[in-house]
Amino acid sequence: MSLFSRKARGQPTVYRAWADEPVLRGRPTSMRADGYDAATLLITFILLSLGALMVYSASISLADSPRYDTTHYHFLLRHAVSIAVGLAAAYAVCRIPMRVWYKLAPWLMGAAVLLLVLVLLPGVGKSVNGSRRWIDLGIFNLQVTEFAKFAILLGAAAFTVKRQDYMHSFSRGLAPMALVMCFVAGLISLQPDLGAIMVTVVVAMGVLFLGGLNLRIFVVVLIAVVLVVALMIYDSPWRLQRVMAYLDPWSSEYALDKAYQLSHSLIAFGRGEFFGVGLGASVEKLHYLPEAHTDFILAVIGEELGFAGVTFVLICYYFLVRRAFAIGRQAIKLDRVFSGLVAEGVGIWIGIQVVINAGVATGLLPTKGLTLPLMSYGGSSLLFTLAAIGLMLRVDRENRVLMRGGKV
């Protein structure tokens, strides 16, 4: 069945200029009458709640460090504020119709490129640990790559809809988006942030593939991306050392240097065994495991809640990603391709970031700084992940209205 079938449940359709969202003639149905997707809300609430608890547990000892010199509740309070702002953003995003997001997609892509340029300028971008990834907005530091993920998700979905008839061709189908992605990846590499490059490229390519990109072209591009990443690692001594440390984290050469985080993360998982040492009883968070409340929060979960706790968290992510794809498939069945690709793109985004974060924490992948969505401490990550979930909820609500014979 074509993605652009002219019928939806046998009702007559009228296509607007953006081509993918039919207006179904029938009994009007109020958007307010349809609630939000209960499964998505429940899983999101569980992850946010458990994340806040573990951020507090993982950061409570940081108050004793002269680097921070603050109260035990400092990071928890800031994390709670980030959650509140993120939930407000998700609600605002959910109130905006998908047809508006379709029109905004190119502008958001342009804004993302502009911000990626601005963050590299001295006096504008803020540098932390040698990486220039943040812009100080006064009330909080904006990590530009998080906004770029959100914009690229929408941009790739809109591009796929516009170029649907040319997805079998490289020059007319993939090439324009590939040029944009190469430029974006180049800007991110100057920060540098290889993890963000991987996530943005995977999200864009995943959306294009689901939208009908020719399989042969997809495989060729995938091979090219892998080769480029390998070259970037080989050409950068500190990245190459990280890979070597990942291969042998217990060697005397790396255990106290490049593999320090990984070795202590593995110790944390080992101490946790099946049911963990108990909530709040982690030893590795006591200034042994760096970034325990951000990139390596899963290691603290593993130590305090054990294999059972980590499994529970991963199952929650599985169902969240599965729900995203279910909502996306339903939208595509209703001939709303842009909306469907956006929902599925949210699933790809969350899924790939969880895989990378969990892989790094457990030693399955080389060390890379990526947060665990909805759980790690970090304002920008929470803000845009929740905004993406707001997009998913909007797609689901519009699906329900159309299935009731209403219009959006």
Residue 122: per-residue pLDDT: 79
Here the tokens at position 211 are 């939208």
CB 317 within 8 A of CB 386: no
**Which of 394, 385, 392, 389 lies closest to 82 in space, CA to CA?**
385
Neighbours of 56 (CB within 10 A): 19
In the chain, the N- to C-terminal Cα span, in Å, equals 23
Contacts 24+ apart (CB under 8 A), 135-140: 140/82, 140/379, 140/380
* Sequence-distant (≥ 6) Cβ neighbours of residue 363 within 8 angstroms: 246, 249, 262, 265, 266
Residue 34: per-residue pLDDT: 55
Here the tokens at position 119 are 């963050």
Residue 13: per-residue pLDDT: 33
**DSSP states along 60-116:** GGGGGSTTT---TTHHHHHHHHHHHHHHHHHHHHHTS-HHHHHHHHHHHHHHHHHHH
Determine the Cα angle at 383 with ends 144 and 186, to 5°: 20
- Any idea what DSSP says for residue 28? -
CB 178 within 8 A of CB 166: no
From residue 393, how far is each of 64, 90, 257 by CA, in Å?
41, 9, 44
CA distance 229 to 233: 6
* Sequence-distant (≥ 6) Cβ neighbours of residue 130 within 8 angstroms: none
CB 262 within 8 A of CB 367: yes
Residue 218: per-residue pLDDT: 84
3-class state of residue 236 by DSSP: coil
CA distance 179 to 186: 11
CA distance 360 to 383: 23
CA distance 245 to 257: 9
Angle (deg, nearest 10), helices 379-403 and 98-118: 160
Residue 51: per-residue pLDDT: 92
Q: Which conformational region is residue 132 in: left (phi greater than 0), alpha (psi within -120 to 50 degrees), or beta?
A: beta
CA distance 293 to 75: 9
Buried b (16+ CB within 10 A) or exposed e, 368-388: bbbbbbbbbbbbbbbbbbbbb
Sequential pLDDT tens for the chain (408 residues): 334 443 333 433 332 333 344 433 334 334 443 577 899 999 999 999 999 999 998 888 776 665 665 667 788 888 999 999 999 999 999 999 999 999 999 999 999 999 999 888 877 777 666 677 778 777 778 888 899 999 999 999 999 898 877 777 777 778 888 888 888 888 888 877 778 888 898 999 999 988 888 788 888 888 888 888 788 777 777 677 777 777 767 666 666 667 777 888 888 898 988 998 988 888 888 878 887 888 889 999 999 999 999 999 999 999 999 999 999 999 999 989 999 999 999 999 999 999 999 998 888 888 777 889 999 987 889 999 999 999 999 999 999 888 887 777
**Which of 61, 83, 82 lies closest to 72 in space, CA to CA?**
61
Burial of 242 (0-12, 13-18, 19+ CB in 10 A): buried
Residue 16: per-residue pLDDT: 32
